[in-house]
Structure 1
Amino acid sequence: MRALFPLLLLAACGASPAPQFFGAERHEVRLSGIDFVVFRKGDRAEVVRLGYLGRAARDAVPALMEEAVRVTTGCRALPGSKVTGLPGDTGEARFDIDCDG
């Protein structure tokens, strides 16, 4: 049983996509010292922020998430398309994306 605990901790360290993003392209990027994983599937992207941030450091994250989509996929996040699991969540967000221009 003791050996199981470290394995659970290791499994919790990696970013996993939401079920609708299983099979998506995975990209990793660091912006302003913050690590993000971007999953792209078709015209949608999911961004997961890695690591802990204090409350004051979270203010820049929503804009950095949009930049992470652009940098990793070459597509732009459509304005107003961001959806988070919880209001104000800076750990994960999903976007509709436009890759045509």
Structure 2
Amino acid sequence: MPARILPLLALLAACASPSPPFFGAARHEVTVDGRRFTVFHEASRAQVIRHGYASASARADIPALMLRAVALATGCTPVAESFQGDSGERRGRIRC
């Protein structure tokens, strides 16, 4: 692979893309406790994507940080029990 392609691949890997149900949704970049998240939302639902590496010991705290990121980005209250996914990506309902 040519060396000039590596920076392009790194740049693309840093970009978060929404899942198909969130195409066209509002996009927000949020930092919570030093972790970066991208939040997509529309109407009464949201998707949150974590950026960067999280060690196994740090992953336990990520779901709570994701909910805070959703609240900051949308100004709405995330319905915690509705959020499904893992420490990299979660989706759920919000109340505005």
User: Helix, strand or coil for the counterpart of 1:80?
Assistant: helix
Which of 42-51 and 5-14 deviates more?
Answer: 5-14
> Any idea what the Cα deviations from partners look like across 1:57-95, whole Å, max 9, x if unmatched?
1111101111111111111111310111xxxx2000001
Q: In the aligned structure 2, how far is the partner of 1:9 from the partner of 1:70?
A: 29
Q: In the aligned structure 2, how far is the partner of 1:34 from the partner of 1:5?
A: 24
Question: TM-score when scaled to structure 1?
Answer: 0.85
Q: In the aligned structure 1, how far is the partner of 2:8 from the partner of 2:69?
A: 29
Q: In the aligned structure 2, how far is the partner of 1:23 from the partner of 1:5?
A: 29
RMSD: 1.4
Q: Which runs of 5+ in 2 are unaligned?
A: none
Number of positions where the alignment pairs a residue of Structure 1 with one of Structure 2? 95
* Offset of residue 53 of structure 1: 1.0
Q: In the aligned structure 1, how far is the partner of 2:5 from the partner of 2:18?
A: 23
Q: Which letter maps to 1:90?
A: S
Q: In the aligned structure 1, how far is the partner of 2:60 from the partner of 2:33?
A: 12
Q: In the aligned structure 2, how far is the partner of 1:81 from the partner of 1:35?
A: 22
User: Which residue does 1:90 correspond to in 2?
Assistant: 87
User: Which residue does 1:76 correspond to in 2?
Assistant: 77
Q: Which letter maps to 2:39?
A: V
1:26-65 alignment to 2 at 5 Å? 26-65=27-66
> Any idea what the Cα deviations from partners look like across 1:20-53, whole Å, max 9, x if unmatched?
1111111111111111110011111000000001
Q: Report sequence identity in percent.
A: 48
User: Helix, strand or coil for the counterpart of 2:13?
Assistant: helix
Question: TM-score when scaled to structure 2?
Answer: 0.89
* Offset of residue 4 of structure 1: 4.2
User: Helix, strand or coil for the counterpart of 2:84?
Assistant: coil
